[in-house]
């Protein structure tokens, strides 16, 4: 099973099969609107602007599991992302990334690329997973890794 085998939910609750995304690498990020790392939305949008026409898809998944830093509903999250950071990449339905209610996609991502010391758990918002064209998870990045630092790895997959 690979990332393109999963279906996720859009903010309106409708399905988005990841197999329907353009052929190319995918950057998957758990996001939050009220986090110290929230300014990374700007860098993620820059990656989207720089590489979308070459095949990169950036996907944001709001998550309220870390310090309750994403309390809003889908409309509030969309307004924040659009008005504050002019985000044009898809920001999908709010998910859980850890625990019994973890979204199946994130369960897969965590197993495919473990964190520090082999830990599967996502430690905080803005953990990033880079997926190749075939849907294989190739790298996991910490919340402290700035989006611009991922450019070289993304370029290698384009």
Q: How far apart are CA 51 and CA 46, in angstroms?
A: 8
Q: What is the mean pLDDT of residues 93-116?
A: 95
List, by residue number, the catalytic residues: 35
Are 113 and 127 contacting, i.e. CB atoms less than 8 angstroms apart? no
pLDDT in tens, 116-157: 888 899 999 999 999 999 999 999 999 999 999 999 999 999
Q: How far apart are CA 92 and CA 84, in angstroms?
A: 17
State the average pLDDT for the chain: 95
CATH T-level assignment (fold) for domain 37-127: Glutaredoxin (3.40.30)
Are 62 and 126 contacting, i.e. CB atoms less than 8 angstroms apart? no
pLDDT in tens, 24-53: 999 999 999 999 999 999 999 999 999 999
Please state the length of the chain. 158
pLDDT at 18 over 90: yes
Roughly how many angstroms between the first and final C-alpha of the chain, as a whole number? 22
pTM, whole model, 2 decimals? 0.96
């Amino acid at each position: 099973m690979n990332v393109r085998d999963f279906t996720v939910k859009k903010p309106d609750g409708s399905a988005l099969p990841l197999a329907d995304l353009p052929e190319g690498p995918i950057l998957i990020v758990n996001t939050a609107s009220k986090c110290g790392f929230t300014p990374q939305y700007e860098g993620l949008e820059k990656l989207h602007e720089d590489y979308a026409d070459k095949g990169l898809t950036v996907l944001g998944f709001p998550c309220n599991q870390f310090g309750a830093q994403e309390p809003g509903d889908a409309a509030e999250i969309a307004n924040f992302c659009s008005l504050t950071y002019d985000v044009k990449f898809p920001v999908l339905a709010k998910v859980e990334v850890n625990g019994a209610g973890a979204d199946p996609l994130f369960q897969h991502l965590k197993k495919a690329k473990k964190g520090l010391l082999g830990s599967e758990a996502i430690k905080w918002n803005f953990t990033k997973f880079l997926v190749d064209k075939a849907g294989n998870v190739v790298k996991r990045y910490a919340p402290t890794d700035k989006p611009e630092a991922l450019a070289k790895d993304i370029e290698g997959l384009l």
